[in-house]
Amino acid sequence: MELAQLRYFVAVVEEGGFTRAGARLHVSQPGVSAQVKQLERELGQRLLDRSGRRVTPTEAGEAVLTYARAALAAVEGIRRTADEFSGLLRGRVTLGLIPGAAAAVVDVLGDFHDAHPRVEIALAEDTSERMLAALLHGKLDLAVVGLDGEPPPGISCQVVIEEPLVAAVRADDPLLAAAADGRIPLAALRGRALISTPRGTGLRGVLERACAQAGFAPRVDFEAAAPAVLVRLAARGLGVAVVPAGAESGAGDGLRALRITDPELTGRAALAWRTSGPPAPAALRLLTSLRETPLFRATATPEPLTDGP
């Protein structure tokens, strides 16, 4: 039995298929399949059910999976310990980002790469909901996410941006006439064509949660990941864009921002990481680097890096 066989087996289970596992491991699909079949022959058990669209572990596979993960974690721990004694930092860090966040971390990532050239950094953009799930399952090491409430158990967060949400409307929109001191109640958006980020994002979650508490479902006619696109859609008269305050300036003078009240809506972006166990040294070092940047230091005192769950 070889460690590569265990690594391939775990990857197939986590990715639900040989092709995706191969892409994750940078190995051809036939190579992954051959190694897993060899492992099954050595153990005398069928570990994977290949009959469905998604490959799943058999009963024996579920039992072996626990030990395979433990063996891989032990080997990684040995490597980390040896690297710490030699002063060498290497490995791979996966960082998830909400759309638009990459620009805020480019310099940090460049400096980190210069200091630790043997650490591979992988970036991925996705919705906050999926990134939080990926953090919990170990598919991401760190993520910049949008929050619509408290983070799930097992995740620690440091809020880096907290901004009020506004309704961005054209100068001829009837909402302006009904607004008092540049403010409108959330109920004024009932039945209006809204423009928002997709489901699973922090901003959309804040909007939907507040509307549900107010007794109605928001009518979202257009979706886009980036606030800059949302305000451009609003400027063309396609609806009311619900965006962080200040985003409306990206559409020039054609939009007006109305502060949403009763209740006030707030969008939050946060740096998130797992708290269930110590992170790998490379991820921990990058997390420290990110938290030392001016953007991240500008927030309240952060939680310790080694919080328990």
Per residue in 27-47, pLDDT (tens digit) is: 888 988 999 999 999 999 899
Segment among 127-131, 232-236, 291-295 with least mean pLDDT: 291-295
Dmax over CA atoms of the chain, in Å, equals 76
Q: In the chain, what are the domain boundaries? A: 3-85, 88-160+268-297, 161-267
29-43 helix and 3-15 helix, angle to the nearest 10 degrees: 110
pLDDT at 75: 85
Domain 88-160+268-297 identical in fold to domain 161-267 = yes
What average pLDDT score do residues 180-196 get?
Answer: 93
Q: What is the pLDDT of residue 27?
A: 87
Mean pLDDT of 211-236: 93
| pLDDT at residue number 106 | 87
The DSSP letter of residue 60 is H
Q: What is the pLDDT of residue 309?
A: 26
* Residue 83 reports pLDDT greater than 80: no
Q: Nearest 5°: CA angle at 289, between 275 and 85? A: 80
pLDDT score, position 221: 96
Look up the pTM and report it: 0.65
Instruction: Count Cα atoms within 13 angstroms, Cβ side, for 234.
Output: 37
Q: Are 222 and 197 in contact (CB under 8 A)?
A: no
What is the overall mean pLDDT for the chain? 85
Given this model, what pLDDT does residue 296 score? 65
Q: Which residues contact 95 (CB under 8 A, 6 or more apart)?
A: 105, 109, 121, 122, 123, 124, 140, 141, 142, 143, 144, 286
Question: How far apart are alpha carbons 243 and 257 in whole angstroms?
Answer: 9
Q: What is the pLDDT of residues 145-167, one digit of tens each?
A: 999 888 888 898 888 888 899 99
pLDDT band at 118 (very low <50, low <70, confident <90, very high): confident
Cα-Cα-Cα-Cα dihedral sign, residues 109, 114, 115, 119: positive
Tokens standing for residue 233: 């859609």
Query: Which are the contacts of 210, defined by CB distance < 8 A and separation ≥ 6?
Result: 186, 263, 265
The whole-number average pLDDT for the span 67-72 is 90
Partnered with residue 212 across adjacent β-strands are none
Say which amino acid occupies 42.
E
CATH number of 88-160+268-297: 3.40.190.10
Angle subtended at Cα 93 by Cα 90 and Cα 95, rounded to the nearest 5 degrees: 160
DSSP-assigned beta bridge partners for residue 267: 163
Please report, rounded to a whole number, the percentage of residues in the chain having pLDDT higher than 70.
Answer: 90
The pLDDT score that the predictor gives to residue 305 is 34
Q: Looking at per-residue confidence, does 305 or 86 come out higher?
A: 86
User: Residue 238: its pLDDT value, please?
Assistant: 94
Position 59 scores a pLDDT of 92
Q: Which CATH number describes the domain made up of 3-85?
A: 1.10.10.10
CA distance 175 to 166: 12
Does CATH number 3.40.190.290 belong to domain 161-267?
yes
Q: What is the mean pLDDT of residues 200-209?
A: 93
